[in-house]
Structure 1
């Protein structure tokens, strides 16, 4: 499973300009696999799970339906956390040059594939 997840992460990272790091984790923040350079993947997984949980709770509270993603824009880039079928999360870090529109388009197949991988486990 880890190899299949890592292959998807590397494919996404190579396909979208500005993506610097990626990771997949369980919804409780346990790291499954990562393709990272400068960040601590276990810490990234835990923090992304917290962001996902907060986004999910907020969406439920305001009646917006099932959470798809949480986007955080920072001074030097973006942090995007995608929900994976309630089984996990994909977190993508991008620098200032991240093409966020392209990321959203290209992440859809990756999110579907990663969700299926986690479900079959």
Structure 2
């Protein structure tokens, strides 16, 4: 796995989408792969994002709405978005109140495909 290529994808999201503050890629069991964070603890972010993804997957299975794409949490001062990368990894993005969430979803889909290839 090429960590520099993963980090380049995270940097590109930050540059392409207004409001992206922090991001990370982790395994679905919460192990950090790489992060682009300034103010959050990357290991804690990876673990909590994995928990959110797991809960989202369980919920989507229970209600029969198909494969989970992302979990979006809106907070007082921003958003937390967790995207599934196939069955083995995740991308978590933190955004401020001005996050262009529509653009994030648009830019994240090709990024997730590229990350899936990089992560194998």
Do the structures match in fold with TM over 0.5? yes
Kindly indicate whether residue 50 of structure 2 is the aligned counterpart of residue 43 of structure 1: no
User: Which sections of structure 1, spanning at least 5 residues, go unmatched?
Assistant: none
Deviations 1:38-93, CA, capped at 9 Å, x for gaps: 00000000000000000000000000111100000000000000000112000000
Contact 1:31 1:41 survives alignment (8 Å): yes
Aligned to 1:20: 21
| Superposition RMSD in Å | 0.5
Kindly indicate whether residue 84 of structure 2 is the aligned counterpart of residue 83 of structure 1: yes
Contact 1:27 1:87 survives alignment (8 Å): yes
- Report the CA distance between 1:115 and its aligned residue: 1.2
TM-score (norm 1): 0.97
Q: 2: distance between equivalents of 1:14 and 1:30?
A: 25
Aligned to 2:30: 29
User: Which sections of structure 2, spanning at least 5 residues, go unmatched?
Assistant: none
Q: 2: distance between equivalents of 1:106 and 1:75?
A: 24
- Report the CA distance between 1:117 and its aligned residue: 1.2
TM-score (norm 2): 0.98
